[in-house]
Structure 1
């Protein structure tokens, strides 16, 4: 394989004295990484004596390999010694050939080590204990700069306990004063955003009442960037599934209203998707407050908001919306709101087999709940479902295959719908030619 830079034809600089055009500049073999065959930007030498580009050899070891790619020897010492002499030679070669379009490789920063991270985190803990916001802010910003230099640095920071230290610091300063420490708190939250998923101990600190109140405060008062960091952190925290966090969040005034507002306004895809995920965790949990949360969201008009999302949204948004709608239909209040909206049944039927298997499962489940437990509508929901092609869609679900739970619900729905078929014809033109199996 030859690596080179093709020069523009017709340029005087691209010709030798005799006028012959040079078509290609070949990179010296010893400047190329034996793994990627690309020009090395940060050459490092292993204990086996072979030099590689740092990024390539780190990826090699990250994939579980323990041998030197060239010699195939088992590597017992994974230290990577920077080959400064070779790097300088490569840089000089780049400078000499810049007229051919070769750019000089920058001098790489020295990667941080475990000792440096551990020392900095000790200072973070000390400044948090003393509530020294300016000292802590400087340390957190330094940690963020390290992480911004490379993915390797990020892994080193996370592996050496940064999430626990930062979450504990966030809790301490949030408990002191949100308004006074707002800049520091946002910096900590920004750093934590690229450290998810967090360890158990970090979850305990980030899930404290003080930390939760701070994140809700950010959702109310910060700019778009601050809101995004906060809602992502909140989503990741609820994703962990700790009932105590769910219970604590449900006690904070205004949370439900904020989440519904974000879903309605859709000020950014990140905020909308994270808000939908947060709502899902709140209404589908096994906590004692989940029933109250469902009722509250129904009263805030979330059913209509979810139907608006189902009309025209991407796969991820549709999946989240239909799973929440199915959960809300577990309550009588939710079913009444859903049945009272003319879009509910048509949209749920339309989403079957059109978005994803997950959307199909939850759409069938929601229709099943509306038809089976909607006793007060005297069969109107069943009639509406038939009119928009639910019978044919359910047959297709059984034919293409589905999970046992969806299969049971689809079969029961077919039995509920069957008595009404004699009087009604399906008006869904996309499925009017589907052959009926019974």
Structure 2
């Protein structure tokens, strides 16, 4: 960004906003003649102030007039310091786009002019402020135009830019139901192929941000059973999401994929598809080999495992994978209260509700009894405490050789020695 340049070169003082002291990206002048960066002065005025921050004069008018001359000077200066002290500045980040220019860019894009270049400029415009993102999101026909680009273009480089703009304004769109209809309308018609374009970016996108962006868009429109069914039935989509939770992938991709899979996997039909795609094995790898995985990733992995193991097919695969059972047991008390609840629910379902002996043996071998006893002495939720008590009853029966457990009262407040 332009402000990074100030770390390496001397910035002319009149290029800096009097409020933020950063290089101005969209210089505008007040009626007092003082120029500020649009974002800074707009925030000042929106806070209820009616004076010029530099002169403290009462403003006769709050009109902001773009300072085109200063903007061009800043642009020329930015271009002249592309390389400074051996550090190259990203030229795309130096583009200064006003709202008036953004509006003109959108109109030109509608006329099919310079779409890639204009999208890059709109990305810079969106990065400037939340207000700019909202401006584009509310601009008449802009969202529909982006969907149209997804609908008809198969150039990955172009589609990545479309996705980046889309994600930056996503939180400002507001009506996700309307967005869902736009993207999924006539999904069986070959002439409407937004999902294929999104899947193409997911598979071939060079930027992690654009691939994560695709997943965020998909999750945003997965609002009801119908949309989730359409998404899950898109050929290759579920498979790609499962591939993305591999340990070799970027953590942000793993987390986004887990979140999306959880969002669309409410029906038995989808869960069965995931089981057939060996999702349980992939989740086991995350839980056993992902030593550096974040708390959020572990929580999401356990939540998804809880969902797919709730059906007979998933439960059978989970219970027959002793390493997976042990991995879940090892996450009790080690990650977070949320992770503990998901882990205990998985174990309770397999070992107590369905009395699977293989799963029970795997828990015992992983020193699960001691961990459950410790869990009951912790500040866990009433539900977790109750499930832990149920598990102890089961293990007391299956571990009669241990005299301590055979006489253990689950209501005790002490941990019996072994």
**Normalised by the size of structure 2, how large is the TM-score?**
0.70
Correspondence 1:147 to 2:128: no
Correspondence 1:158 to 2:137: yes
Contact 1:44 1:51 in 2 (8 A): yes
- Distance of aligned partners of 1:363 and 1:144 in 2 relative to their CA distance in 1, 3 Å threshold: same
Contact 2:151 2:194 in 1 (8 A): no
Segments of structure 1 that go 5 or more residues without pairing to the other structure are 7-24, 92-100, 128-134, 427-433
Secondary structure in structure 2 of the residue aligned to 1:297: helix
Q: How do 1:426-437 residues align onto structure 2 when only pairs under 5 Å count?
A: 436=415
Question: What is the alpha-carbon distance in structure 2 between the residues aligned to residue 71 and residue 187 of structure 1?
Answer: 42
Kindly state the Cα deviation for residue 303 of structure 1 after the two structures are TM-superposed: 0.8
1:253 alignment partner in structure 2: 235
Contact 1:235 1:275 in 2 (8 A): no
1:317 to 293, 297, 308: 297
Contact 1:235 1:277 in 2 (8 A): no
2:165 to 191, 212, 219: 191
Question: What is the alpha-carbon distance in structure 2 between the residues aligned to residue 168 and residue 90 of structure 1?
Answer: 34
Question: What is the alpha-carbon distance in structure 2 between the residues aligned to residue 73 and residue 368 of structure 1?
Answer: 70
Number of residue pairs matched?
Answer: 375
1:131 alignment partner in structure 2: none
2:353 alignment partner in structure 1: 373
Correspondence 1:206 to 2:188: no
1:351 alignment partner in structure 2: 331
Question: What is the alpha-carbon distance in structure 2 between the residues aligned to residue 404 and residue 163 of structure 1?
Answer: 50
Secondary structure in structure 2 of the residue aligned to 1:136: coil
Q: How do 1:31-430 residues align onto structure 2 when only pairs under 5 Å count?
A: 34-36=18-20, 44-46=28-30, 51-58=35-42, 60=44, 65-67=47-49, 68=51, 79-82=63-66, 111-113=97-99, 116-118=101-103, 120-121=105-106, 124=109, 135-136=111-112, 138-139=114-115, 141-149=117-125, 150-152=127-129, 153-161=132-140, 164-170=143-149, 172-173=151-152, 185-197=159-171, 198-199=173-174, 200=176, 201-208=178-185, 209=187, 210-215=192-197, 217-218=199-200, 223-225=204-206, 229=210, 232-243=213-224, 244-264=226-246, 266-283=248-265, 285=266, 290-313=267-290, 314-315=293-294, 316-375=296-355, 377=356, 379-420=357-398, 422-424=400-402
Bigger Rg, which one:
1
Kindly state the Cα deviation for residue 157 of structure 1 after the two structures are TM-superposed: 2.4
Contact 1:219 1:231 in 2 (8 A): no
**Normalised by the size of structure 1, how large is the TM-score?**
0.67
Let me know the Cα RMSD of the aligned residues.
4.6
- Distance of aligned partners of 1:136 and 1:44 in 2 relative to their CA distance in 1, 3 Å threshold: closer
Contact 1:44 1:83 in 2 (8 A): yes
Question: What is the alpha-carbon distance in structure 2 between the residues aligned to residue 77 and residue 424 of structure 1?
Answer: 85
Question: What is the alpha-carbon distance in structure 1 between the residues aligned to residue 204 and residue 181 of structure 2?
Answer: 27
Question: What is the alpha-carbon distance in structure 2 between the residues aligned to residue 76 and residue 410 of structure 1?
Answer: 70
Kindly state the Cα deviation for residue 43 of structure 1 after the two structures are TM-superposed: 5.5
Question: What is the alpha-carbon distance in structure 2 between the residues aligned to residue 70 and residue 418 of structure 1?
Answer: 76
Kindly state the Cα deviation for residue 333 of structure 1 after the two structures are TM-superposed: 1.0
Contact 2:245 2:258 in 1 (8 A): yes
Question: What is the alpha-carbon distance in structure 2 between the residues aligned to residue 423 and residue 363 of structure 1?
Answer: 27
Kindly state the Cα deviation for residue 364 of structure 1 after the two structures are TM-superposed: 1.4
Question: What is the alpha-carbon distance in structure 2 between the residues aligned to residue 410 and residue 204 of structure 1?
Answer: 45
Deviations 1:155-186 (A, max 9, x none): 5323425652234314642xxxx65x766545
Question: What is the alpha-carbon distance in structure 2 between the residues aligned to residue 403 and residue 72 of structure 1?
Answer: 57
